[in-house]
């Protein structure tokens, strides 16, 4: 699958985080802005349509992605960090995207407060 550099931010990603990442040059489709209140299926469809990496706090959603549609998404980032503030979430995502060296495309990534795990989405 040919993946784009687009990120789809699930509805649980604060708008301040989205704005902060956009200010750093990220191309983001925000579910809050585009399809607030939509089902997980619609979020998946949007991510697949844009050939994007999906970012979410929803661990049930994450487990569904991992078990049911590996390879359909270009990548998935599950945030398991405490949502202390939008600034904390933004700093975590900035580190992941710009500093970590971890490839988002083609991977299922889990970030918690003490470690980052990355698994190929095959």
What pLDDT score was predicted for residue 1? 43
Average pLDDT over residues 40-44: 87
Residue scoring higher pLDDT (27 or 35): 27
* Number of domains the chain is built from: 1
pTM value is 0.90
What pLDDT score was predicted for residue 29? 96
What pLDDT score was predicted for residue 112? 92
Cα atoms in the Cβ-side hemisphere of radius 13 Å centred on 109: 25
> At 22, is the pLDDT very low, low, confident or very high (cuts 50, 70, 90)?
very high
Q: Which of 50-54, 73-77, 89-93, 107-111 has the lowest mean pLDDT?
A: 73-77
Residue scoring higher pLDDT (5 or 1): 5
Check: CB of residue 51 under 8 Å from CB of residue 5.
no
Neighbours of 35 (CB within 10 A): 16
In a domain, 52, yes or no: yes
Average pLDDT over residues 46-73: 78
Residue scoring higher pLDDT (87 or 121): 87
Tell me which residue range forms the domain holding 60.
6-120
Average pLDDT over residues 86-98: 95
Average pLDDT over residues 41-63: 86
Strands 116-120 and 107-112: antiparallel
How far is 2 from 16, CA to CA, in rounded Å? 29
Residue scoring higher pLDDT (92 or 74): 92
Check: CB of residue 9 under 8 Å from CB of residue 34.
no
How far is 65 from 20, CA to CA, in rounded Å? 26
In a domain, 1, yes or no: no
CATH number at residue 80: 3.40.50
Which spans in the chain are helix H?
15-23, 31-35, 40-49, 59-68, 86-94
């Amino acid at each position: 699958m040919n993946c784009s550099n687009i990120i789809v931010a699930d509805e649980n990603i604060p708008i301040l985080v989205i704005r902060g990442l956009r200010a750093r040059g990220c191309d983001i489709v925000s579910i809050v802005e585009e399809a607030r209140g939509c089902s997980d299926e619609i979020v998946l469809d949007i991510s697949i349509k844009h050939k994007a990496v999906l970012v979410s706090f929803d661990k049930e959603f994450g487990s569904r992605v991992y078990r049911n549609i590996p390879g359909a998404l270009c990548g998935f980032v599950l945030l398991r960090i405490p949502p202390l503030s939008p600034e904390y979430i933004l700093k975590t995502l900035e580190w992941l995207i710009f500093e970590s060296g971890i490839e988002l495309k083609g991977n299922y990534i889990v970030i918690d407060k003490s470690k980052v795990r990355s698994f190929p989405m095959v």
